Structure 1
Amino acid sequence: MLKTKEWAASHGIDVDDLLPAIPDYNEPIPRTPQEIATRCIILHAIAATGYGVEPRPIIEWLMDQSIWDDASPAEQSLMESTAPGDEELNAACWRQEAEWALLWAINKVDSFGLPIQTCDTGLLVDDVMPGPGDDIEPFVSSAQLRSPGVLLAEIDRTYNLHCFARQADRQNALPDDLIYPVLFQRHYAFEWLTGDDQWDKVQTDT
């Protein structure tokens, strides 16, 4: 079976880690860098909850930083739940991949590439994200969007990969090194990034 790199290339998809910007594309996205950075913090909190971190201190931190209301209804429900289910917790863990995609969009992480590995959790926790109890202002205020052409190149690649992956999945022909949840979370994050839907309402149509 083809690996993801060869499979993607066979569909005409650029497989380089760093894609060239779409020429002459300057349409701004509807989200501000600060809004995106705040969403990253919320997703970080959700992933932590999924991995078993006690949510009450996280909730108190988000409240103290005045961003608790930025968590979606489903996210608030998860963090307030006294007995979340295993499926719900597993889904929460994967949200760090959506977080990673948005961090890339605001220049907080450098690498992206094909969806054949999970994000660097150690880097995420130790070096990139503010921890519970930290002041989030430096993180939020320093967020800077990549150029529209660079964003569009990666957004288009992710969308196209997801289209072909869904077709391949129906034929039981997904590359064995493609991590589908990583691809899905990236697509979900980018649909939120470029649209105006609330987080819980995002659709990943292909």
Structure 2
Amino acid sequence: MGIFDFIKKQNNGPKTAEQRKKESEKLLKKLNIPYIEHLPFIEEESEVKIRTAKEIGERILVLTYLNYVSEVPEERDKVIKFLESHALWEKVSPDEKELFKKDQLSDQEAINISWRSEAVWLLQWVINKVDKLELPTHQAEISEIVSRLPGFLSDPSEFIDNATLRPTTEILDISDLTYRLHWATKNADLNGQPMPVGLSLSIVMERHYAINWVTYYADEWDDVSTDT
């Protein structure tokens, strides 16, 4: 069962931010994951702004091709020309453009780019390319991510144009839960404690970054925050 399946059973209609918080806490309690009651609400459903499916599809492709170039740098020029020819290069953030163009990435830069696959998995869920999100305990399989994308250097128009958004209430359910999972994993890490139920702090961080971009915690990808 995906983590959203539990939340969905609680209430299928619109929710207040307080209701959403209580549902997340109910799930955390059921799973024996620590939480603090005074962690604030996220935004109200009536006020939130959500990225378009088109924007999310474009971001998925940018992140995926950056990951590819980090592993196969000799294909860099070919990939950049491809992105330019499909109006995707303009969707690459300033920080990402620097990474695309670097002759040699540092080990840490390569690791950071690799972890973005977890953000891609979350974004694929947002546009209905992934059916269920499980608890963030195991890394997404690259083969599963790639199987949901257009072929390498093939026209991405159909993928982008046919992307559809999940309902706002579902997106905010995951946003709220991820926010509280991030607190739980950071708290365990800071206190040198085992991660609750095998959660991965790195996966949670990437999901949190992605969902905060989806819900406009910042206008630009490079500026997203993941405060807890």
TM category (shorter chain) comes to 0.7 to 0.9
**For residues 29 and 145 of structure 1, what CA distance do their matches in structure 2 show?**
13
> What stretches of structure 1 of length at least 5 have no aligned partner?
1-14
- Between stretches 44-53 and 105-114, larger displacement belongs to 44-53
2:222 aligns with 200
**Larger deviation: 47-56 or 82-91?**
47-56
- Tell me which residue corresponds to 2:99: 78
Q: TM-score, normalised by structure 1?
A: 0.86
Amino acid across the alignment from 1:205: D
The answer (yes or no) to whether the contact 2:70–2:105 under 8 Å persists in 1 is: no
Provide the aligned C-alpha RMSD in A. 1.8
Report the counterpart of residue 28 of structure 2 in structure 1: none
Q: Distance in 2 between matches of 1:191 and 1:37?
A: 16
Partner of 2:227, secondary structure, is coil
Mapping 1:22-101, distance limit 5 Å: 23-25=13-15, 27=46, 29-52=49-72, 54-101=75-122
For 1:151, give the aligned amino acid: I
Q: Which consecutive unaligned segments of at least 5 residues does structure 2 have?
A: 16-44
| Matching residue of 1:156 | 176
Structure 1 contact 50–90 (Cα < 8 Å) conserved: no
Distance 1:99 1:199, change over 3 A: same
TM-score (norm 2): 0.78
Is the deviation greater in 97-106 or in 27-36?
27-36
Letter in structure 2 aligned against 1:83: Q
Distance in 2, matches of 1:128 and 1:62, equals 18
For this pair of structures, how many residues does the alignment match?
191
User: In the alignment, is residue 120 of structure 1 matched against residue 110 of structure 2?
Assistant: no
Structure 1 equivalent of residue 35 of structure 2: none
Matched, 1:170 2:190: yes
What displacement does 1:162 show? 0.2
Identity of aligned residues (%): 31
Matching of residue 185 in structure 1 with residue 206 in structure 2 = yes
